[in-house]
Structure 1
Amino acid sequence: MNEVIAYFSTIPSSHRSLILVGGITFFWIVENTFPLFQMQYKKWHHAGINFFLTLTTIIINFLLAFILIKTAYWATENHFGILQWLPEIPILLYTLIGLLLLDLIGAYLPHYIQHKIKFLWRFHIVHHTDTWIDTTTANRHHPGESVIRFVFTTLGVLIVGTPMWMVFLYQTLSVIATQFNHANISLPNKLDIFLSYFIVSPNMHKVHHHYVVPYTDSNYGNIFSVWDRLFGTFTTLSKDKLIYGVDTHMMPEENNKLKNLLKIPFQKSRSIKNS
């Protein structure tokens, strides 16, 4: 574990980029070999839109990274936050608690709030407009949402009192987890169900991308599935009933044009329907 801490304490930016690109490449190959759905779409055009939005997320996180670093440094130096107030415990348990709490405050909570507050939903809806969910969808976020997510991540680091090496570890696991659970891959059903007791499995997250509520408003988890199960937001839906997208933006000119996607938060809001 000391080696892991040492690595993530000084992880180069090139390694973080390699993990992002390597993950997309790996799951891209796997989903083409073992697809959940045989989707008829222009894969490179679709990927181009999502890669552009991924790039904007990377740029925003890079420009604001100093805030995250200073927050983590201040919390550890001033012994502020949940982890800093814990008695001495084994490092593995310490790490697990930290990752779970970061996942709760920095991922599950903002995701839930974005579905409940109309102003925030205006930005998050861009992620849900994707009607062809694959591994490139993982970072399909409007630049405005990237800023919102960063704010909550920073808040999580402060409340949890997370050292910077754990922040880097969490972000690495988050990238891999989101690429995995968005990937258009077909896992044996029993394996997917088993995984969903611990982490957000592909079939579990695909339910969140069903085009109508209450399914859209469920399965908010990022890495760990415990929070959905604990807070009663976990649900299931047979894959043969899945329809991707969001019912307010099902037309291709709305959900498959980058120019319109960037405009959506500033357009007149539309009410979603119940199933």
Structure 2
Amino acid sequence: MDFLSNNDALWQLSFYGGTLLLFWIIELFISTQKWNLKALHTALNAKFLVFVLPVQIILSLVVFFVASWTETSNWGLMYLFPIEANSILFFVVAFLILDFFDYGYHFMMHKTPLFWKFHQVHHSDMEVDITTTIREHPGETFIRVSYSIIVIAIVGASPWVLIVKQFIQSVSNLASHTNLKLPEKLNNIVSLLLVTPNTHHIHHHYQLPYTDSNYGDVLTIWDRLFSTFSKMKQTEIVYGVDTHMDELQNKDFKNLITRPFDTTTIKDTKVIQLNPTKD
């Protein structure tokens, strides 16, 4: 744990990259997508890392500093509870609170017009697979990590809590974007608690109200609690965003990186369709 705490950024990048590569190889052999098309899709989404990684790494140093300060100062909501700071119960409670805030972040990115301009770049991927996870505009990276810093200060999440949470969250985020789906019966059981590829891919459907549902990051309980959980047949999912369905533009990296700042593009108003099937 001391090693991980002292090499947090390096550990996160190594673990995340290794897990992404593993899922990518599995997709390559199991999915029906041709390898050359998959390579082109991967190359496009990988370009975002050039801009995202510097922002992520620099702000991660602030994340670790704030987390360390809350631990040494006993600052935050977690220290108001009569729970031992290094106990499993401390982690479970902190994880639930942080996951709730992650749900709130995702909801905010969809409902705030300015933030949606950045987040829709992620949703514009019309071939969702494991590499869609890294298709994030650097503007969103700045918003996301800045939000995390504020939440950490409020909650009082210590470094070891963040490290273990990051391990769980990374696996969940990567797995939920993979194009490998669970059998329907198994998915119905697993998705009672956890986000699955099946449930998250509904979130990537190109039209409302499905785009604005299934916000959960690791757990589905918040979607169920706040009535934002939805179901639809996997065969009916169409990936993308209804305001930006030009395939060539969504494969043009320059267009994607400048799109949030382009005032001449189609107004980001999503079309309301039929209500989703609530669970």
Q: TM-score, normalised by structure 2?
A: 0.90
1:56 aligns with 2:51: yes
- The residue number in structure 1 matching 2:100 is 104
Contact persistence 1:79–1:85 (CA under 8 A): no
Contact persistence 2:59–2:146 (CA under 8 A): no
Offset at residue 257 of structure 1 (A) = 0.8
Alignment partner of 1:30 out of 22, 26, 30: 26
Offset at residue 6 of structure 1 (A) = 4.8
Please give the alpha-carbon distance, in whole angstroms, between the structure 1 residues aligned to 2:27 and 2:12.
22
- The residue number in structure 2 matching 1:273 is 271
1:231 aligns with 2:226: yes
* Structure 1 residue identity aligned to 2:56: N
* Structure 1 residue identity aligned to 2:134: N
- Counting only pairs closer than 5 Å after superposition, residues 217-256 of structure 1 correspond to structure 2 as 217-256=212-251
- The residue number in structure 2 matching 1:135 is 130
Find the residue that maps to 1:94 and give its secondary structure: helix
Q: Please give the per-residue CA displacement for 1:96-115, whole angstroms capped at 9, x wherever unaligned.
A: 1111211221x211110111
* Structure 2 residue identity aligned to 1:212: Q
Q: Please give the per-residue CA displacement for 1:108-161, whole angstroms capped at 9, x wherever unaligned.
A: 111101111111100000000000000010121101000000111112211110
* Structure 1 residue identity aligned to 2:20: I
Please give the alpha-carbon distance, in whole angstroms, between the structure 2 residues aligned to 1:112 and 1:246.
16
Higher RCO, Cα 8 Å, sep 6+: 1
CA shift in 2, pair 1:165/1:183, >3 Å: same
Offset at residue 39 of structure 1 (A) = 4.3
Q: TM-score, normalised by structure 1?
A: 0.91
154-163 or 212-221: bigger deviation: 154-163
- Counting only pairs closer than 5 Å after superposition, residues 137-176 of structure 1 correspond to structure 2 as 137-176=132-171
* Structure 1 residue identity aligned to 2:61: F
* Structure 2 residue identity aligned to 1:103: D
Find the residue that maps to 1:42 and give its secondary structure: helix
Offset at residue 11 of structure 1 (A) = 4.5
- The residue number in structure 1 matching 2:211 is 216
1:47 aligns with 2:42: yes
Q: CA RMSD in A?
A: 1.8
Offset at residue 173 of structure 1 (A) = 2.0
Please give the alpha-carbon distance, in whole angstroms, between the structure 2 residues aligned to 1:242 and 1:181.
15
1:259 aligns with 2:254: yes
Offset at residue 33 of structure 1 (A) = 3.5
Q: Please give the per-residue CA displacement for 1:2-49, whole angstroms capped at 9, x wherever unaligned.
A: xxx5564344544322211211111112223333xx346821121112
* Structure 2 unmatched ranges of 5 or more: 274-279
Please give the alpha-carbon distance, in whole angstroms, between the structure 1 residues aligned to 2:13 and 2:226.
34
Contact persistence 1:39–1:132 (CA under 8 A): no
120-129 or 189-198: bigger deviation: 189-198
Please give the alpha-carbon distance, in whole angstroms, between the structure 1 residues aligned to 2:50 and 2:130.
15
* Structure 1 residue identity aligned to 2:54: I
* Structure 1 unmatched ranges of 5 or more: none
Offset at residue 194 of structure 1 (A) = 1.5
Find the residue that maps to 1:167 and give its secondary structure: helix
Please give the alpha-carbon distance, in whole angstroms, between the structure 2 residues aligned to 1:102 and 1:139.
21
